Amino acid sequence: MPKHIILDSDPGIDDSLAILLALASPEIVLDGISTIHGNASTEQVTKNALSILELAKASHVPVFKGCDVPLVKDSLLGPETHGDTGLGYAKLPDPQTQPKIQHGSDYLIEQIMSRPGEVTLVALGPLTNVAIAIRKEPRIVQNVKEVFIMGGAIQHPGNTTALAEFNTYVDPHAAHVVFHSGMPMILTPLDVTYQCIFTKDDLNRLEKIDSPITKFISDSTRFYMEFHDEYQKIDGCVINDPMTLALTFMPEICDYQDLVVDVDISTGVGLGNTFADFYNYEKKPKNMKVAMGVRPRMFMELFLERMEGLCSKIR
Protein backbone atom coordinates (compact mmCIF):
# COMPACT_ATOMS: atom_id res chain seq x y z
CA MET A 1 0.00 0.00 0.00
CA PRO A 2 1.55 3.35 -0.98
CA LYS A 3 2.10 5.94 1.74
CA HIS A 4 -0.08 9.04 1.63
CA ILE A 5 2.06 12.17 1.71
CA ILE A 6 1.30 15.84 2.18
CA LEU A 7 4.08 18.28 1.36
CA ASP A 8 4.38 21.56 3.21
CA SER A 9 6.80 23.37 0.97
CA ASP A 10 8.29 26.64 -0.37
CA PRO A 11 9.26 25.86 -3.99
CA GLY A 12 12.18 26.78 -4.37
CA ILE A 13 14.57 24.81 -6.59
CA ASP A 14 15.15 21.78 -4.36
CA ASP A 15 11.49 21.80 -3.20
CA SER A 16 10.49 21.54 -6.87
CA LEU A 17 12.80 18.57 -7.29
CA ALA A 18 11.13 16.99 -4.23
CA ILE A 19 7.70 17.47 -5.84
CA LEU A 20 9.01 15.78 -9.01
CA LEU A 21 10.52 12.93 -7.00
CA ALA A 22 7.21 12.41 -5.17
CA LEU A 23 5.35 12.25 -8.49
CA ALA A 24 7.91 9.80 -9.90
CA SER A 25 7.80 7.39 -6.95
CA PRO A 26 5.18 4.60 -6.89
CA GLU A 27 5.80 3.93 -3.18
CA ILE A 28 3.99 7.15 -2.27
CA VAL A 29 0.90 9.12 -3.24
CA LEU A 30 1.16 12.90 -3.17
CA ASP A 31 -2.22 13.92 -1.73
CA GLY A 32 -1.64 17.67 -1.70
CA ILE A 33 0.73 20.57 -1.13
CA SER A 34 0.44 23.40 1.40
CA THR A 35 2.72 26.31 0.59
CA ILE A 36 4.78 28.46 2.90
CA HIS A 37 6.91 31.62 2.70
CA GLY A 38 10.63 30.91 2.57
CA ASN A 39 12.62 30.64 -0.62
CA ALA A 40 10.24 33.23 -2.15
CA SER A 41 6.96 34.88 -1.09
CA THR A 42 3.97 32.63 -0.43
CA GLU A 43 2.24 34.12 -3.48
CA GLN A 44 5.20 33.21 -5.67
CA VAL A 45 5.88 29.71 -4.26
CA THR A 46 2.19 28.87 -4.62
CA LYS A 47 2.37 29.81 -8.28
CA ASN A 48 5.56 27.76 -8.59
CA ALA A 49 3.94 24.69 -6.99
CA LEU A 50 1.06 24.87 -9.48
CA SER A 51 3.42 25.36 -12.43
CA ILE A 52 5.61 22.40 -11.44
CA LEU A 53 2.56 20.18 -11.10
CA GLU A 54 1.37 21.28 -14.55
CA LEU A 55 4.83 20.65 -15.98
CA ALA A 56 4.67 17.09 -14.65
CA LYS A 57 1.05 16.65 -15.83
CA ALA A 58 -0.12 16.32 -12.24
CA SER A 59 -2.46 19.28 -11.86
CA HIS A 60 -4.92 16.97 -10.09
CA VAL A 61 -2.78 17.44 -6.94
CA PRO A 62 -4.41 20.26 -4.91
CA VAL A 63 -2.38 23.21 -3.68
CA PHE A 64 -3.27 25.24 -0.55
CA LYS A 65 -1.71 28.62 0.14
CA GLY A 66 -0.31 28.90 3.65
CA CYS A 67 1.18 31.57 5.91
CA ASP A 68 2.86 34.64 4.42
CA VAL A 69 5.14 35.54 7.31
CA PRO A 70 6.92 33.88 10.25
CA LEU A 71 5.27 33.75 13.69
CA VAL A 72 7.42 36.42 15.33
CA LYS A 73 10.36 37.48 13.17
CA ASP A 74 10.27 39.65 10.07
CA SER A 75 10.08 37.83 6.77
CA LEU A 76 13.31 36.61 5.14
CA LEU A 77 13.31 35.24 1.59
CA GLY A 78 16.11 33.53 -0.36
CA PRO A 79 16.59 35.24 -3.75
CA GLU A 80 20.36 34.78 -3.79
CA THR A 81 19.95 31.01 -3.37
CA HIS A 82 16.87 30.36 -5.52
CA GLY A 83 16.54 33.48 -7.71
CA ASP A 84 13.84 36.15 -7.62
CA THR A 85 11.08 33.74 -8.70
CA GLY A 86 12.40 30.89 -6.56
CA LEU A 87 13.16 28.74 -9.61
CA GLY A 88 16.60 29.97 -10.67
CA TYR A 89 16.88 30.48 -14.44
CA ALA A 90 13.84 28.30 -15.18
CA LYS A 91 10.88 30.04 -16.78
CA LEU A 92 7.62 28.14 -16.53
CA PRO A 93 4.34 29.29 -18.07
CA ASP A 94 1.84 30.86 -15.67
CA PRO A 95 -0.28 28.08 -14.17
CA GLN A 96 -3.74 27.45 -15.55
CA THR A 97 -4.93 26.10 -12.21
CA GLN A 98 -5.60 28.00 -8.98
CA PRO A 99 -4.83 27.19 -5.38
CA LYS A 100 -7.80 25.91 -3.35
CA ILE A 101 -9.60 28.36 -1.09
CA GLN A 102 -8.81 26.59 2.20
CA HIS A 103 -5.75 27.89 4.11
CA GLY A 104 -2.70 25.61 4.07
CA SER A 105 -2.63 25.02 7.83
CA ASP A 106 -6.39 24.25 7.87
CA TYR A 107 -5.80 21.75 5.08
CA LEU A 108 -3.16 20.02 7.22
CA ILE A 109 -5.58 19.85 10.16
CA GLU A 110 -8.46 18.57 8.06
CA GLN A 111 -6.41 15.87 6.37
CA ILE A 112 -4.67 14.62 9.52
CA MET A 113 -7.87 14.59 11.60
CA SER A 114 -10.00 12.91 8.94
CA ARG A 115 -7.53 10.04 8.46
CA PRO A 116 -5.99 9.31 11.89
CA GLY A 117 -2.63 7.54 11.64
CA GLU A 118 -2.57 7.65 7.84
CA VAL A 119 -1.03 10.96 6.80
CA THR A 120 2.72 11.39 6.45
CA LEU A 121 3.60 15.08 6.55
CA VAL A 122 6.81 16.18 4.85
CA ALA A 123 7.83 19.72 5.83
CA LEU A 124 10.40 21.23 3.47
CA GLY A 125 10.31 24.91 4.42
CA PRO A 126 9.96 27.13 7.50
CA LEU A 127 7.56 25.45 9.93
CA THR A 128 4.99 28.27 10.28
CA ASN A 129 2.01 26.35 8.82
CA VAL A 130 2.74 23.28 10.94
CA ALA A 131 3.11 25.34 14.14
CA ILE A 132 -0.15 27.19 13.49
CA ALA A 133 -1.89 23.87 12.79
CA ILE A 134 -0.62 22.46 16.11
CA ARG A 135 -1.82 25.50 18.05
CA LYS A 136 -5.21 25.47 16.32
CA GLU A 137 -5.84 21.72 16.61
CA PRO A 138 -3.41 20.12 19.11
CA ARG A 139 -4.88 16.66 18.45
CA ILE A 140 -3.01 16.51 15.12
CA VAL A 141 0.04 15.62 17.22
CA GLN A 142 -1.45 12.21 18.08
CA ASN A 143 -3.18 11.71 14.74
CA VAL A 144 -0.40 12.34 12.23
CA LYS A 145 1.41 9.15 11.19
CA GLU A 146 4.87 10.80 11.07
CA VAL A 147 6.49 14.12 10.19
CA PHE A 148 9.64 14.34 8.09
CA ILE A 149 11.34 17.70 8.48
CA MET A 150 14.10 19.22 6.37
CA GLY A 151 15.82 21.63 8.66
CA GLY A 152 18.53 22.34 11.16
CA ALA A 153 22.25 21.80 11.34
CA ILE A 154 23.21 19.70 14.35
CA GLN A 155 27.00 19.31 14.10
CA HIS A 156 27.32 21.14 10.80
CA PRO A 157 27.79 24.87 10.16
CA GLY A 158 24.73 26.90 9.28
CA ASN A 159 23.93 27.86 5.70
CA THR A 160 22.19 31.15 6.59
CA THR A 161 24.12 32.32 9.62
CA ALA A 162 27.29 30.76 11.04
CA LEU A 163 25.09 28.59 13.25
CA ALA A 164 21.66 28.35 11.65
CA GLU A 165 20.13 26.53 8.72
CA PHE A 166 17.69 28.47 6.49
CA ASN A 167 14.34 26.86 7.44
CA THR A 168 14.95 27.04 11.19
CA TYR A 169 16.46 30.53 10.95
CA VAL A 170 13.51 31.94 8.98
CA ASP A 171 10.98 30.84 11.59
CA PRO A 172 12.77 29.59 14.73
CA HIS A 173 9.68 30.13 16.89
CA ALA A 174 7.62 27.84 14.65
CA ALA A 175 10.41 25.24 14.78
CA HIS A 176 10.33 25.55 18.58
CA VAL A 177 6.58 24.84 18.70
CA VAL A 178 6.95 21.84 16.38
CA PHE A 179 10.07 20.37 18.03
CA HIS A 180 8.35 20.48 21.44
CA SER A 181 4.98 19.22 20.20
CA GLY A 182 5.46 15.49 20.75
CA MET A 183 4.81 14.64 17.09
CA PRO A 184 6.69 11.60 15.75
CA MET A 185 9.45 13.44 13.88
CA ILE A 186 12.34 12.48 11.62
CA LEU A 187 14.75 15.36 11.01
CA THR A 188 17.02 15.68 7.98
CA PRO A 189 19.60 18.34 8.89
CA LEU A 190 22.45 19.78 6.81
CA ASP A 191 24.73 17.15 8.45
CA VAL A 192 23.41 14.65 5.89
CA THR A 193 22.11 16.79 3.03
CA TYR A 194 25.49 18.51 2.56
CA GLN A 195 27.02 15.11 1.81
CA CYS A 196 24.72 14.63 -1.17
CA ILE A 197 25.85 16.82 -4.03
CA PHE A 198 24.03 16.87 -7.35
CA THR A 199 26.94 17.33 -9.77
CA LYS A 200 27.31 18.55 -13.34
CA ASP A 201 27.85 14.90 -14.35
CA ASP A 202 24.52 13.99 -12.74
CA LEU A 203 22.89 16.80 -14.67
CA ASN A 204 24.55 15.71 -17.93
CA ARG A 205 23.08 12.25 -17.43
CA LEU A 206 19.54 13.70 -17.22
CA GLU A 207 20.15 16.10 -20.11
CA LYS A 208 20.45 13.10 -22.45
CA ILE A 209 16.64 12.90 -22.30
CA ASP A 210 14.81 15.56 -24.28
CA SER A 211 11.94 16.61 -22.01
CA PRO A 212 10.54 19.86 -20.58
CA ILE A 213 11.31 18.39 -17.16
CA THR A 214 14.99 17.96 -18.02
CA LYS A 215 15.03 21.55 -19.24
CA PHE A 216 13.49 22.69 -15.96
CA ILE A 217 16.02 20.73 -13.90
CA SER A 218 18.82 22.09 -16.02
CA ASP A 219 17.75 25.76 -15.89
CA SER A 220 16.93 25.73 -12.19
CA THR A 221 19.98 23.83 -10.95
CA ARG A 222 22.37 25.93 -13.09
CA PHE A 223 21.42 28.90 -10.90
CA TYR A 224 21.61 26.79 -7.74
CA MET A 225 25.06 25.49 -8.69
CA GLU A 226 26.30 29.05 -9.31
CA PHE A 227 25.07 29.98 -5.81
CA HIS A 228 26.83 26.99 -4.22
CA ASP A 229 30.03 27.78 -6.07
CA GLU A 230 30.02 31.49 -5.21
CA TYR A 231 28.93 31.28 -1.56
CA GLN A 232 30.16 27.88 -0.38
CA LYS A 233 32.78 26.73 -2.91
CA ILE A 234 30.76 23.59 -3.58
CA ASP A 235 31.02 22.11 -7.06
CA GLY A 236 27.41 21.15 -7.82
CA CYS A 237 24.41 21.78 -5.58
CA VAL A 238 22.91 20.35 -2.41
CA ILE A 239 19.40 19.01 -2.97
CA ASN A 240 18.17 18.92 0.62
CA ASP A 241 14.45 18.56 0.00
CA PRO A 242 14.30 15.54 -2.34
CA MET A 243 16.62 13.76 0.06
CA THR A 244 14.17 14.33 2.89
CA LEU A 245 11.29 13.11 0.72
CA ALA A 246 13.23 9.98 -0.29
CA LEU A 247 13.51 8.92 3.36
CA THR A 248 9.73 8.46 3.51
CA PHE A 249 10.02 5.35 1.36
CA MET A 250 13.74 4.49 1.40
CA PRO A 251 14.79 5.06 5.03
CA GLU A 252 17.94 2.97 4.57
CA ILE A 253 19.59 5.90 2.77
CA CYS A 254 20.38 7.27 6.24
CA ASP A 255 21.41 6.14 9.73
CA TYR A 256 19.48 7.70 12.58
CA GLN A 257 19.96 8.66 16.21
CA ASP A 258 17.17 9.26 18.71
CA LEU A 259 18.04 12.65 20.18
CA VAL A 260 16.84 15.53 22.29
CA VAL A 261 16.86 18.39 19.80
CA ASP A 262 16.08 22.03 20.47
CA VAL A 263 16.27 25.32 18.61
CA ASP A 264 17.64 28.62 19.89
CA ILE A 265 14.97 31.32 20.07
CA SER A 266 17.01 33.77 22.10
CA THR A 267 17.96 36.98 20.31
CA GLY A 268 21.73 36.49 20.10
CA VAL A 269 24.02 35.13 17.40
CA GLY A 270 22.60 31.64 17.87
CA LEU A 271 19.05 32.47 16.76
CA GLY A 272 17.70 29.51 14.78
CA ASN A 273 20.60 27.24 15.75
CA THR A 274 19.52 23.63 16.27
CA PHE A 275 21.42 21.56 18.79
CA ALA A 276 21.22 18.12 20.32
CA ASP A 277 21.86 17.13 23.91
CA PHE A 278 23.92 14.08 22.86
CA TYR A 279 24.76 13.02 26.43
CA ASN A 280 21.27 13.94 27.66
CA TYR A 281 22.55 16.14 30.47
CA GLU A 282 19.09 17.60 30.91
CA LYS A 283 17.40 14.18 31.21
CA LYS A 284 14.66 15.14 28.78
CA PRO A 285 12.85 12.54 26.68
CA LYS A 286 14.17 12.10 23.12
CA ASN A 287 11.93 14.13 20.83
CA MET A 288 12.96 13.03 17.36
CA LYS A 289 14.94 10.71 15.15
CA VAL A 290 17.74 12.57 13.41
CA ALA A 291 19.44 11.43 10.21
CA MET A 292 23.13 11.72 11.10
CA GLY A 293 24.73 9.34 8.59
CA VAL A 294 24.02 8.95 4.89
CA ARG A 295 24.82 6.83 1.83
CA PRO A 296 25.03 9.69 -0.68
CA ARG A 297 25.22 7.66 -3.89
CA MET A 298 22.29 5.46 -2.82
CA PHE A 299 20.17 8.61 -2.69
CA MET A 300 21.59 10.13 -5.87
CA GLU A 301 21.09 6.95 -7.90
CA LEU A 302 17.49 6.77 -6.71
CA PHE A 303 16.94 10.42 -7.60
CA LEU A 304 18.52 10.10 -11.05
CA GLU A 305 16.66 6.90 -11.92
CA ARG A 306 13.33 8.39 -10.86
CA MET A 307 13.99 11.61 -12.82
CA GLU A 308 15.00 9.58 -15.89
CA GLY A 309 11.71 7.68 -15.61
CA LEU A 310 9.65 10.86 -15.31
CA CYS A 311 11.52 12.72 -18.07
CA SER A 312 11.10 9.79 -20.46
CA LYS A 313 7.34 9.75 -19.83
CA ILE A 314 6.84 13.50 -20.24
CA ARG A 315 8.26 14.72 -23.54
Instruction: Could you list the beta-strand ranges (E) of the chain.
Output: 3-9, 28-35, 63-65, 119-123, 146-150, 185-188, 197-198, 237-238, 254-259, 261-263, 274-276, 288-294
Report the site for ligand BDR in 107-126 (rule: CB under 6 A): 124-125
Report the site for ligand BDR in 18-47 (rule: CB under 6 A): 39
Integer Cα distance of 133 and 107 in angstroms? 9
Among 5, 6, 8, 14, binds ligand BDR (CB under 6 A): 14
Decide if 147 contacts 288 (C-beta within 8 A). Answer: no
Of the ranges 8-16, 21-29, 58-66, 198-206, which one interacts with ligand BDR (CB under 6 A)?
8-16
Among 17, 133, 150, 261, binds ligand BDR (CB under 6 A): 150
Of the ranges 12-20, 226-234, 279-287, 298-306, which one interacts with ligand BDR (CB under 6 A)?
12-20
Q: By CB under 6 A, is residue 8 in contact with ligand BDR?
A: no
Q: By CB under 6 A, is residue 15 in contact with ligand BDR?
A: yes
Of the ranges 67-75, 159-167, 220-228, 293-301, which one interacts with ligand BDR (CB under 6 A)?
159-167
Q: Which residue's beta carbon is nearest to the bound ligand BDR?
A: 166
CB within 8 Å of 172: residues ≥ 6 apart = 73, 164, 263, 264, 265, 271, 272
User: Three-class SS of residue 75?
Assistant: coil
- Closest to 46 in 3D by CA, of 125, 132, 113: 125
Spacing of C-alpha 144 from chain mean position: 18
When CB distances are held under 5 to 8 angstroms depending on the partner's kind, the choice from ligand BDR, Ca ion, none that residue 164 binds is none
Residue 239 CB, nearest approach to ligand BDR (Å): 9
Strand partners, 30: 5
Q: By CB under 5 A, is residue 15 in contact with Ca ion?
A: yes
Site residues for Ca ion per CB under 5 A: 10, 12, 15, 124-125, 241
